[in-house]
Structure 1
């Protein structure tokens, strides 16, 4: 496993840029095969923004022409563990009636956020709601939900980077990693 140091932070890289890009192209092909009616892609913000942007570009290459709207939900706030309560911070503006919806999220762990979003969109009259996640951690599922498209099965650790954060830090990293603090210091420091 590759490790990098950013300031005082030591980070182990789980999935590098090239690996993520290759998997996203495969996911876009899978999604194209779902044949969703009047496709509306709804990324769940904030964590999914990088994944969603790259996935939407890959969907274009796969021949899809989706519309996009955004939903902002939160169950973590500044914690590293879900609070269990899902809050709508920003709702979508698009009418979903009779449409095929693809919810895009960064990670499926407890399942509360994705299940909440799926139930919300279905209750508004969507024809079908499918889900795509970059990472899946099945060992902590609190509700019965599976993603329709999964980038990677993730080990049981708190991950950062590629849109995912710890207290609003590390979203900008172009890879998914595990924070190992503090960074090791040399005897000279």
Structure 2
């Protein structure tokens, strides 16, 4: 789906598919250097990180295992509730593993802060974070994120895995959702 397929639903396109792919390639090169000689476990956070995880993993030139976890703090709204629930847990044992959490976006940081602590408590050798997008103005807690693709304004964005009520995930880029769509 391209932005012209949803004419009027977006106020602005922030990132094109090409810009996203170029940034993921840049992040992959950094990850390869940092994990040289090790095989990280990429932990994708469902559902939003599906596109990021798939494209990042394909870009990597090192071996990496993949697993998925679903956590939620949103429900059907546009703002985090702050209460984290595990909807799908990992299948992998983290003991002694180098874990790289792959996220689509960091808003408040509350969910990601909780997730990092949760995975560290499972005996991982290391836990780092890779996020395609971060909203610095929305941060409520400071989360150390080793790999950040783009810093974006504190707007409601959709596309490239990000949704509103399960719509817009398949938009090839990332755009700002028009307020009339979600108000």
TM-score after normalising by structure 1: 0.89
SS at match of 1:33: helix
Q: CA 1:122–1:58 in structure 2 vs 1: closer, same or farther (change >3 Å)?
A: same
Q: Note the residue ranges of structure 1 that are not aligned, 5 or more in a row.
A: 184-189
Bigger share in helix: 2
Q: Distance in 1 between the 2:43 and 2:100 partners?
A: 6
Moved over 4 A (4+): none
Q: Whole-Å Cα distance in 2 between the matches of residues 65 and 38 of structure 1? A: 6
| Displacement of 1:38 | 3.1
Distance 2:7 2:23 in 1: 30
- Comparing 156-165 with 134-143, greater Cα deviation is found at 134-143
Structure 2 residue 45 is matched with structure 1 residue 44: yes
**Larger Rg belongs to:** 1
Match of 1:128 among 126, 129, 136: 126
Q: Under a length normalisation based on structure 2, what TM-score does the superposition of the two structures give?
A: 0.91
Moved more, 37-46 or 124-133: 37-46
Which runs of no fewer than 5 residues in structure 2 stay unpaired? none
| Separation (CA, whole Å) in 1 of partners of 2:166 and 2:90 | 23
Equivalence for 1:16: 16
Alignment of 1:92-131 (within 5 A): 92-131=90-129
TM-superposed deviation, 1:143: 1.8
Contact preservation (8 Å) 2:130, 2:146: yes
Query: For the residues of structure 2 that align with 1:136 and 1:115, how far apart are their CA atoms?
Result: 14
Aligned counterpart, 2:63: 65
* Cα RMSD for the two superposed structures: 1.9
**8 Å Cα contact 1:4-1:13 kept in structure 2:** no
Alignment of 1:149-188 (within 5 A): 149-180=147-178
1:27-52 alpha-carbon deviations (Å, 9 max, x no partner): 00111122274310000111111011
